[in-house]
Amino acid sequence: PALNKIQDELKGLRDIMEAPLMQFAWGETGRVQPLYASLLKQLMTLGLSSRLSKSIARQSANQGLNKHSWLESLKLLAGLVPVDDDDILTSGGIVSLIGPTGVGKTTTIAKLAARFALKHGRRGITLITTDNYRIGAHEQLRTYGRILGVPVHVATDAEELKNLLREADIPSGENERRLTLIDTAGICQKDVRLSEQLTTLNLSGMEIKNYLVLSATGQMNLQDEVIRAFRKLKLSGCVVTKIDEAASLGEIISVLVQHDLPLHFVCDGQKVPDDLHQARGQLLVKEAVKLMRKTNKSPSAEELAYSFGGMVNNAII
């Protein structure tokens, strides 16, 4: 404890000493390279991480900074968003939605099922839930099942899940496309039950596409934790929900780019099936810019100095 206290005091002293130097360095960046500094500030205002902001600004600088650099940077960003065109609504298959509590997994399953039914009919759809933790957890999915006219089953363990998946995989007609959607329990990434949930999916013995569901309203460091925890299971990609509730989309974009996690769908409301869209990097960035202009909240001088003050000597002109 005594050593930790000394280390904390030394860190605090170092921060106090470094702060003026960082502010000076950032001020010099603005004086010597105003276009570069302005671009960094705009990218941070978008909500991007300092790391991604630096990367994009440097790529833009390599092409030569001018009055069009902001638009060019947005194009670069759109190209960096990992998007997967594997359309389960066309091909079908077995898909599980995993993720923390409250991100909208069950509603997203209803949207996917409804879209698939509109394309191929409802005969090939099966809904399965493995959520045995919450009281009444199955009721919402059963309600959607009744509305859509599709069967809903409960799997209490890996063996039951395996049997249900085998039954659901048997086509009832020639060339029939089938989609089996698995709704899982919402579990915090730090919960000890997470490994149990992931093991159930792993032991099913079937080829399951696991989609991680992330809320666009989550903080960047929290999203990072969630992805690292759920990556213990092989992820096919992700679905981002609550786009309509987010104050900024830069955070979720940064995390997806950092982890190279393919984005399949985005959801921007509760309507089934309307508020589900195939992911497009350009459209996501466009929405991020709209939110930035709407909130009109720029990072403070202190934030910019802390993020970029140490890079003045490494900046590319």
Supply the pLDDT for residue 98. Answer: 92
Burial class from Cβ neighbours inside 10 Å (0-12, 13-18, 19+) for residue 1 reads: exposed
In order of their start, the domains of the chain are 2-81+302-314 (no CATH), 88-279 (3.40.50.300)
Main-chain phi, psi angles of 212, to 5 degrees: -85, 130
Of 141, 166, 144, 167, which Cα lies nearest the Cα of 154? 141
Backbone angles phi, psi at 150, to 5 degrees: -125, 150
Interatomic CA distance for residues 109 and 128, integer angstroms: 10
Contacts of 164 (CB under 8 A, 6+ apart): 126, 128, 153, 155
> Which pLDDT does position 132 carry in this prediction?
72
Please give the Cα distance from 83 to 94 (Å, whole number).
20
Q: How many CB atoms lie within 10 A of CB 194?
A: 19
Q: How far is CA 57 from CA 42, 213, 268, in A?
A: 10, 30, 29
Read off the pTM.
0.81
Res 317: pLDDT: 35
In the beta sheet, which residues pair with residue 152?
127
Q: Which residues of the chain fall below pLDDT 50?
A: 17-18, 21-22, 24, 26-27, 30, 306, 311-317
Which pLDDT belongs to residue 282?
A: 95
- Distance CA(259)–CA(255), nearest Å, equals 6
The pairing of strands 179-183 and 93-98 is: parallel
Contacts of residue 99, Cβ cutoff 8 Å, sequence gap at least 6: 105, 184, 186, 212, 213, 214, 226, 230
